Amino acid sequence: KQEVTQIPAALSVPEGENLVLNCSFTDSAIYNLQWFRQDPGKGLTSLLLIQSSQREQTSGRLNASLDKSSGRSTLYIAASQPGDSATYLCAACNQAGTALIFGKGTTLSVSS
């Protein structure tokens, strides 16, 4: 059974810092790995999707990497801003592409 773990659970940084959020998964047989942002009381916004055959994806200040063999993914946020404050969720998609297994998230707070 796939299990997804995110470390740390919470992170506070000053504005401008570069930071890394970690995600690990127990079953490397995945279809893709996805990163989402969730603001308090809101739904999910898709940030990056890495196919199982890819190593990384970039969007603006965000870069996500995937190492299937070690069961790890990282989300790198460059030059953090207060507007980046949110909970970041990673989710591993099963090989059939039918189910997303989510981690508990990392709650990020960026102070100005």
Which parts of this chain interact with another protein (CB under 8 A)?
Answer: 4, 31-32, 34, 36, 41-46, 49, 89, 91, 93, 97-105
Provide the minimum distance between the beta carbon of 91 and another protein in the complex, in angstroms, as a whole number. Answer: 8
Provide the minimum distance between the beta carbon of 47 and another protein in the complex, in angstroms, as a whole number. Answer: 11
Token pair 């916004």 is found at: 45
Q: In whole angstroms, give the CA distance from residue 1 to residue 27.
A: 7
77 contact partners, CB below 8 Å, separation of at least 6 = 18, 19, 20, 21, 61, 62, 84, 108
Provide the minimum distance between the beta carbon of 60 and another protein in the complex, in angstroms, as a whole number. Answer: 18
Q: Which is nearer to another protein, 77 or 92 (CB)?
A: 92
> Three-state DSSP class for 29?
coil
Q: Which is nearer to another protein, 96 or 112 (CB)?
A: 96
Supply the Cα-derived Rg of the chain in whole angstroms. 13
Q: Which is nearer to another protein, 27 or 78 (CB)?
A: 27
